[in-house]
Amino acid sequence: MEKLKIAYQAVDLLKSIDMPISAEQSNIIAELEKEYLRDEVIPLLEQEMFPLVEKMINNFDMEVTYDTESGLVISVVEQPVTQPVLFDDDAVQRTRQKRYILKVTFPGGRVSCHRIVWKTMNDVIRYAGPERVQQLGIMVAGLNLVSSELHELERYRAAQKEVAPGLYVYAHSSTNAKYEQILTISRQLDLGLKVEKVSIIGDEN
């Protein structure tokens, strides 16, 4: 988010002196905004919305649209329900949307593959060494992925999990973001990890 804030400040400065924004600058800002949506906004939306929908017994597709003029619109995509509602002994059995978890194979053959994905991330960070990962400077929600500080905002602070005394991992990012973070850790620290996405019937990250 910090880079995006700087980009917005630069745009405001250009506007103040009546200078147009170039196509290249606009593309850079678009990429920064996509990154912000993927790594910060979408995980927060999931966190806020999940308690509201977790008791639903059918799968639905939802569409989120943002327009600079009309604002934010969230709607249900109109299509037939693809999975049936099942009844067994008068108890509703909920079907869940297909999701992905991560499977990490360490040198030597040990495997970490938790249904709660941040636990797999923590296994990787403990293996790599939290202090070494902290030095990589992987930023999430305005903080280092491994930080010695707790975020000033409660909603972010609640997502920080202690991985070692005085060191916290920011756990609430998408599975895709965690996948990329683990790959980055493995490449930069030369860990030789094999990282795979495994399809499941959904659970939380």
Length of the chain, in residues: 205
Q: What is the mean pLDDT of residues 136-150?
A: 87
Global confidence as pTM: 0.54
- What is the average pLDDT value for the chain, to the nearest integer? 79
CA distance 116 to 202: 10
In this prediction, residue 31 carries a pLDDT of: 84
pLDDT at 22 > cutoff 60: yes
Q: What is the pLDDT of residues 47-57, one digit of tens each?
A: 677 777 767 77
- What is the C-alpha R_g of the chain? 20
Using the Cα atoms of residue 170, residue 162, residue 136 and residue 181 in order, give the sign of their dihedral.
negative
Q: When comparing pLDDT for 180 and 60, which is higher?
A: 180
CA distance 169 to 157: 10
Residue 55 CB-half CA count within 13 A? 3
